[in-house]
Amino acid sequence: MLTVNGQRLWNSLMDMAEVGATAAGGNCRLALSAEDFAGRALFADWCHQAGMSLDTDAIGNLFARRAGRTPQAEPVVMGSHLDTQPAGGRFDGTYGVLAGLEVVRSLNDAGITTDRPLEIAVWTNEEGARFTPAMLGSATFCGVVPLADALAIEDAQGISVATALAGQAGNLPLGRRFAAYFEAHIEQGPILEQAGLPIGVVTGGQAICWLDVLVSGRPAHAGTTPMRLRRDALFAASTMISQLEQLANAFGPHGLVTVGQLLIPGASRNTVPGQVRFTVDLRHPQDAQIHAMEESTRRVLQQLAAQRGLTVNIQQHWFSAATPFDRDCIAAVRQAVTALGYPHQEMVSGAGHDAIHLARHCPSAMIFVPCVDGLSHNEAEDALPDDLRMGADVLLGAVLAQAGGQTIPTVSSWASST
């Protein structure tokens, strides 16, 4: 069975990590910065060397194309992003792009031409660190954000996306049809590492419900107010948050509950908090369950507030439905990993990815590989060369299946494939 060259993939990852390298071993290539353009230029050089053509669309998404036997056929697309967090790692996004490149190089080595054209997409501003929202390039491509709105978005210095593109936008149409989209990515979580598995077959993205909670009691002097006369908003909020932890268990193992921000307006060490604001982040792979989680949250918080004679106001800040990936694309990944004999499990994506937008545009799926300690968005982000190689092998197999390539012979052991 055809596999990639793991050492070449690793070398390219390390070469790309020299662009915008930080002192602590990470990367800083903010979207559409000089470092980001330098990274794209290095990638473009490699694509040209691999015989690919390059073009961009109006939001600066970069596409490298390898011709297929049927030029008019919709392409099978691999990809991710090359921009990073300000103190980002070497693999988030970059891996998906360079795994795509390694797939093309490996096909070149093997002399294989697929039926459909292949493309590698580099999506603009995935991180959202410079321009908000994140995943802007894929959102614009998929019609989620209108182009004019996207171009007008400004960074903290007042520089617009249009200005930052600096003539690097091209004429490839937005919303072109793809036969399939595959994105390989580090997991950015601890599940695969904990399970000792090199591959996650990603079946979709979670539903997310963000709530803003305001608990209102009565401020009071910490020294002069008897406990029985207090309406302490923090004691109430603490009970609420403890109940939310229980709620996560009730919806386990797939339900996730996080209270990431908590603020006491006008907080003072010797004042009983009169108000507390906190956020709730609810996640579940199933829409029916996320709705049940939101309803339970609202009921529990209202009950606890009423018991204490306090009030609670709960606003939905944002809701994103679950994103199931395409059955055939998932099957292609599953068949590839099974044929390769690599240990794996099915899982949902906990983080946002360009593939979440693409999934509403064309058949899509993702492949996860472990990252060390589940760490990402961090200069210490790390991944093992063998895991990265196996992920690219699976990408190659899935792409070949969807693009109409060669018959793939099986190999006896996944450990000997570099």
Is residue 262 involved in binding a copy of itself (CB under 8 A)? Answer: yes
CA 276 to each of CA 72, 282, 310, 317, 377: distance values in angstroms, whole numbers, following the listed order = 59, 19, 11, 17, 29
Query: Which positions from 41 through 70 interact with a copy of itself, judged by CB under 8 A?
Result: none
Say whether residue 315 binds a copy of itself (CB under 8 A). no
Of 66-74, 262-270, 359-367, 380-388, which segment contacts a copy of itself by CB under 8 A? Answer: 262-270
Distance CA 111, CA 140 (A): 35
The reply to whether 158 sits near a copy of itself by the rule CB under 8 A is no
Residue 132, amino acid: T
Fill in the amino acid letter for 199: I
Task: Pick one of 235, 325, 342, 414: the residue that binds a copy of itself (CB under 8 A).
Answer: 235
Which amino acid is residue 66, in one-letter code? R
Cβ proximity to a copy of itself: between 32 and 280 the closer is 280
Least Cβ distance, residue 265 to a copy of itself (angstroms): 12
- Judged by CB under 8 A, the number of residues near a copy of itself is 58
Q: Does 289 bind a copy of itself (CB under 8 A)?
A: no
81 labeled binding residue = yes
Query: Residues 199, 114, 186, CA angle at the centre, nearest 5°?
Result: 20
- Our measurement of the distance from residue 203's CA atom to the centroid of its chain's CA atoms, rounded to an integer in Å, reads 14
| 281 contacts a copy of itself (rule: CB under 8 A) | yes
Q: How far apart are CA 92 and CA 85, in angstroms?
A: 9
Residues 6+ positions from 196 with CB-CB distance below 8 Å:
343
To the question of whether residue 379 is assigned a binding role by annotation, the answer is no
Q: Does 189 bind a copy of itself (CB under 8 A)?
A: yes
Q: Is 196 in the site for a copy of itself (CB under 8 A)?
A: no
For residue 27, give Cα distances in angstroms to 9, 98, 142, 161, 376. 18, 15, 28, 21, 12
344 carries a ligand binding annotation: no
Q: How far apart are CB 96 and a copy of itself at their closest, in Å?
A: 16
CB of 72: closest distance to a copy of itself in angstroms? 39
Cα 163 from Cα 204, distance rounded (Å)? 35
Give the single-character DSSP code of 157. T
CB of residue 255 vs a copy of itself: minimum separation in angstroms?
A: 8
Q: 238 burial class (0-12, 13-18, 19+ CB within 10 angstroms)? A: middle
Instruction: Find the helix packing angle between 34-49 and 6-16, rounded to 10°.
Output: 150
Q: By CB under 8 A, is residue 335 in contact with a copy of itself? A: no
Q: How far apart are CA 86 and CA 27, in angstroms?
A: 7
Contact between 325 and a copy of itself by CB under 8 A: the answer reads no
Binding site for Zn(2+): which residues? 81, 92, 127, 185, 377
Binding site: which residues? 81, 92, 127, 185, 377
Site residues, a copy of itself (CB under 8 A): 187-191, 194, 206, 208, 210, 220-229, 232, 234-235, 237-239, 241-242, 245, 248-249, 252-253, 255-262, 264, 267-273, 279, 281, 283, 349-352, 374, 376-377
